[in-house]
Structure 1
Amino acid sequence: MNKLGCYTCGAPDALQAFKDRTYTVCFKQLTRPVHGLTGHECAKCGEVEFDAPSAERYAQAGDELIEDAKRVMADEIKRIRRKLHFTQKSAVQLLSGGGHNAFSRYERAEVEPPKPLFVLMRLLDRHPELVAELETLNECADINSLLEQKQQQREKARPPLSL
């Protein structure tokens, strides 16, 4: 049996051949299994080196996962926005504060939406009754009240002006 030295940790005779394994490609929290991969694995550090055809299939699966995820996220953003009866402009104003065509770019999968925005959209999809609460929070009446209190405290703390 011909064992090779590991390219990563340098352990001699540590690479062991494997065949027909499944590895999972990950993108953020999204995953996709890739079956039937062949290559070598280091018995010491666990580093994996695929053979050329397996490396190509693994890389292609990763690229496809990214493209599929971008398209699915874009379609979800659009579906949820429409369900909530938001225009792209009102969605930007209420949810993201981004540029005026941010949602257009998200929905065309040109730009990936920020994770907090995507999570918020999914939350509103499950609980549309929270839209009214969100609108109230966006008015910032509570924050303006706190700012007013802060200003009053600052004015009280200032020494009186001497003439």
Structure 2
Amino acid sequence: MDNCPGCGAMAPVHDTHGVSYTYKGQHTTIPGVAAYHCASCGDVRLDPAAVHRYDELVARFHRKVDAALVDPAYLRAVRKKLRLDHDEADEVFGTDHFERYEAGKAQPHPSTVALVKLLDRHPELLAEVRGV
């Protein structure tokens, strides 16, 4: 590549390094991206051979972020299904923030989401989780 397609600067540098990426407010660095990097404008153009790998790593990050996010209405529905008030939900799920999760003001830790999903599918395990 002779000139940067973004700004026209001479000779973008071909290099391999991490590229910052953001999805739904979550940040990561996609490692080892082979691309042309323009020092003048910061433009990055992937090598054709790197596109598939980059797309796969981005898709994997999307799946990870999406798995950690949960709809507040779902949390409320599961809590009610289990017949828990907010204090009991905090005790069961090991948090002090369940009411904030339901209000959409905070996102629960992925382990909390996993436990909510497990108890949604198997409410009979609630007593065991409580240690009763």
Alignment TM-score, normalising by the size of structure 2: 0.52
Per the alignment, do residues 32 and 62 of structure 1 end up closer, same or farther by CA in structure 2, a change over 3 Å counting? same
1:119 aligns with 2:116: no
| 5+ residue gaps, structure 2 | 82-101, 113-132
Q: Describe the superposition over 1:115-161 as per-residue Cα deviations: whole angstroms up to 9, x where unpaired.
A: x9532575xx9xxxxxxxxxxxxxxxxxxxxxxxxxxxxxxxxxxxx
Provide the aligned C-alpha RMSD in A: 3.5
**Aligned partner of residue 105 in structure 2, secondary structure:** helix
1:56 aligns with 2:52: yes
Per the alignment, do residues 120 and 39 of structure 1 end up closer, same or farther by CA in structure 2, a change over 3 Å counting? closer
Q: Percent identity?
A: 18
Per the alignment, do residues 8 and 79 of structure 1 end up closer, same or farther by CA in structure 2, a change over 3 Å counting? same
| 5+ residue gaps, structure 1 | 88-115, 126-163
Larger RCO (alpha carbons 8 Å, 6+ apart): 2
**Equivalent position of 2:12 in the other structure:** 15
Alignment TM-score, normalising by the size of structure 1: 0.44
When Rg is computed on C-alpha atoms for both structures, the one with the higher figure is 1
Residue from 86, 91, 96 that aligns with 2:80 = 86
**Equivalent position of 1:112 in the other structure:** none
Query: AA paired with 1:118?
Result: G
**Contact map agreement 2:72 2:103 (CA 8 A) in 1:** no
C-alpha displacement of 1:30: 1.1
**Contact map agreement 1:41 1:47 (CA 8 A) in 2:** yes
Q: Give me the whole-angstrom Cα distance separating, in 2, the residues matched to 1:69 and 1:121.
A: 11
Q: Give me the whole-angstrom Cα distance separating, in 1, the residues matched to 2:35 and 2:25.
A: 26
**Aligned partner of residue 28 in structure 2, secondary structure:** strand
**Equivalent position of 1:26 in the other structure:** 22
**Equivalent position of 2:62 in the other structure:** 66
Deviation >6 Å, runs of 4+? none
